[in-house]
Amino acid sequence: QVQLVESGGGEVQAGGSLRLSCEASGFPFSLYYMNWYRQAPGNQRESVATISRSGSATYADSVKGRFTISRDNAVNTVYLQMNSLKPEDTAVYYCNVVFTGRSYWGQGTQVTVSS
């Protein structure tokens, strides 16, 4: 079955950096787009970044120039490098894939940015 396991969250001061990882299994990872989403308390879940099979990336306007999504198909892992973090980046970050028409989510990893 599809499994997505996020790691790398934590607490950091504004201006700091974190690198999130999402290890995937249960589907042919290299053939699928991978996504990062986030959800802050009281807010809807929002898309942060997407990476294609070939490595092309798209970003939400709020994170452009600060976050970088990447993937390593050899180890079935997608990453989110987050630099210049702001308090408004505080949220639970989720890894996501749409496989056979169904959306799968990891358990999420908390990112807290203090001012």
Q: Tell me if residue 89 falls in helix, strand or coil.
A: helix
Residues 6+ away with beta carbon under 8 Å from 15: 84, 85
**87 three-state secondary structure:** helix
pLDDT at residue number 107? 97
Q: Do 8 and 92 meet the contact criterion of CB atoms below 8 Å apart?
A: no
Whether 34 contacts 24, CB under 8 Å: yes
pLDDT for residue 51: 98
pLDDT, residue 2, reads 98
Residues 6+ apart with CB under 8 A from 101: none
pLDDT recorded at residue 32: 98
Residues of the chain with pLDDT under 70: none
Encoded tokens for 115: 């001012």
